[in-house]
Amino acid sequence: MEKAITLTGLLKKSASEFPSRRAVSVSGKFDLTHGRLQELVDRAASVLAAAGIGHGDVVALTFPNTVEFVVMFLAVIRCRGTAAPLNYSYTAEEFEFYLSDSESKLLLTPQGGNQAADAAAGKLGIPRVRATLLSPNSEVALSSDDTDLSKESDSLPVNDPSDIALFLHTSGTTSRPKGVPLSQLNLSSSAQNIKSVYKLSESDSTVIVLPLFHVHGLVAGLLSSLVAGAAVALPAAGRFSASTFWADMIKYNATWYTAVPTIHQIILDRHLSKPEPSYPKLRFIRSCSASLAPSILERLEESFHAPVLEAYAMTEASHLMASNPLPEDGVHKPGSVGRPVGQEMAILDENGVVQSPGASGEVCIRGPNVTKGYKNNPEANKQAFMFGWFHTGDVGYLDEDGYLHLVGRIKELINRGGEKISPIEVDAVLLSHPDVAEAVAFGVPDDKYGEEINCAIIRRAGTKVTEEDILHYCKKNLATFKVPKKVFITETVPKTASGKIQRRIVAEHFLAQISTAKVPKFGA
């Protein structure tokens, strides 16, 4: 019998309670009920088990946001394997690194394959299996040139809370990407935390806008919905599209959605330039994975008439750590990322002393949703797991009501002549300018102050704001030492696959532009 504290057990429970309710839809194609989804998962898991996939075997998956990914991801963990989702757009070299580092035993791809992934797997000698589901009444067709898929296992094993179900890599913004193993218990704890804080039920529905190879989309969007007996819709294109988003939200009676600030901004821009005739009545809108500027939050609430709940999450915590509550459950504090959800949280100084309310330090957590450690990385584990807590690397403080306020990443705080400056604070001011669509502040080396503040902005469509305009605005709204020294006006800034802006990469990008621009002068 499956244990309820495993993700697999929770999904089986949901399928038995809501067998005929919609679980997954492919926009414009077909729907799967919770009962049918469970049947597809069990059958695919039986084929994988018969092919030799079992306890602890890592299976890499690289798909767009498709129903095949959903079924095969759940099938891998159902037979006690470890699923390792990979970005469909990686290069062959990137696939080779991630396949090797995860020690993948098998690669799953769509029916058409993935040229870069196939090349990397071939080089490493990893068998490849292709998956396709043509209709809700058919089985997932699995094909392979180098693996026997003709048999099914007579029985499937019982999942254990300690089974490593998911293997992801951190973004690697400050070092080599670190492998994060997440157990069935980690995932079930996080899914239940998300279900609880947002009161998700079988009556809820959402459209998945974030990639399912990322923990935000996978756990907050997909798994928490399935555990709650709720429904998700996958865009027909297999990825987010601003032009079809609201049509899908209306068609599938969506009650909420979760996204990163970049996508919220795209949705807002679409609303301003090409508003829909009507919008669905949403219980809430969720924002996570990066700081949401107060001005953007206000515009979202005004435009779509729903509370916007900012949250705080990390891969190492199986996503959710803190969230602002629903209106009926407490005060929403703009500028905070909410209260801890389902785990302990403390602010520690460098000696491991817990700080009092209002005092800043490193945000630390512990709980059943937190990984037990990075894979094969004792040095990283030594730094991240001290004093009995997981150290997030974020600086923040808890106020007297227990709400968390983030100041920034420890390695992203700008030290200008001894003054510690939060880039998040500068971001918020930049984004409050009516002609700024996106903005990011970052530190750069400076001979006089050690570090100086620069920023990059993307103009709102149809505006002609200048560097001088931005600097004048900052001088009116920021202390003098927090005003950027230089403003880069650009059409794009580097982002991760999930739409998250990474300051270090942005800084390197624009510093490289300065260096390149100066080369002719040096040769003069």
DSSP 156-173: -PPP-TTSEEEEEE---S
H-helix segments, 25-91 = 34-50, 67-78
At 419 the pLDDT is 80
Q: What does each of the 524 residues of the chain score in pLDDT, given as a tens digit? A: 455 589 999 999 999 999 999 999 999 999 999 999 999 999 999 999 999 999 999 999 999 999 999 999 999 999 999 999 999 999 999 999 999 999 999 999 999 999 999 999 999 999 999 999 999 999 999 999 888 899 999 999 999 999 999 999 986 544 578 999 999 999 999 999 999 999 999 999 999 999 999 999 999 999 999 999 999 999 999 999 999 999 999 999 999 999 998 899 899 999 999 999 999 999 999 999 888 888 889 999 999 999 999 999 999 999 999 999 999 999 988 789 999 999 999 999 989 999 999 999 999 999 999 999 999 999 999 989 999 999 999 999 999 999 999 988 888 888 887 787 889 889 999 999 999 999 999 999 887 888 899 999 999 989 999 999 999 999 999 988 899 999 999 998 887 776 777 788 888 888 887 665 543 332 22
Q: Tokens 């785990």 label which residue? A: 343
Beta bridge partners of 253: none
At 516 the pLDDT is 57
**Number of residues that this document lists for the chain:** 524
H-helix segments, 371-502 = 378-384, 423-431, 467-477
Give SS3 for 27: coil
At 283 the pLDDT is 98
Predicted TM-score of the model (pTM): 0.86
At 7 the pLDDT is 97
At 519 the pLDDT is 33
Is residue 177 within 8 A of residue 459, CB to CB? The reply is no
Tell me the C-alpha distance between 140 and 26, whole Å. Answer: 15
Please tell me the chain's helix, strand, coil percentages from 3-state DSSP, rounded to the nearest 5: 35, 25, 40
Q: Helix 261-273 to helix 294-304 angle, to the nearest 10 degrees?
A: 50
In CATH, which superfamily holds the domain spanning 414-522? Answer: ANL, C-terminal domain (3.30.300.30)
* Secondary element (H or E) of residue 124: helix 115-124
The β-bridge relationship of strands 450-459 and 436-446 is antiparallel
Which of 453, 458, 493, 503 is CA-nearest to residue 474? 453
At 523 the pLDDT is 29
Domain spans, the chain = 7-395, 414-522
For 7-395, the fitting CATH number among 3.90.1150.10, 3.30.300.30, 2.60.40.1180, 3.40.50.12780 is 3.40.50.12780
Q: Tokens 């005739």 label which residue? A: 277
Q: Do domains 7-395 and 414-522 have the same CATH topology?
A: no
The three-point CA angle 180-15-82 to 5° equals 20
Beta bridge partners of 143: 130
Euclidean distance between the first and the last CA atom of the chain, given in angstroms as a whole number:
77
Tell me the C-alpha distance between 249 and 209, whole Å. Answer: 11
Structure tokens at 233: 């819709």
* Secondary element (H or E) of residue 195: helix 184-197
Structure tokens at 249: 């939200």
Structure tokens at 146: 């180098």
The β-bridge relationship of strands 284-287 and 256-259 is parallel
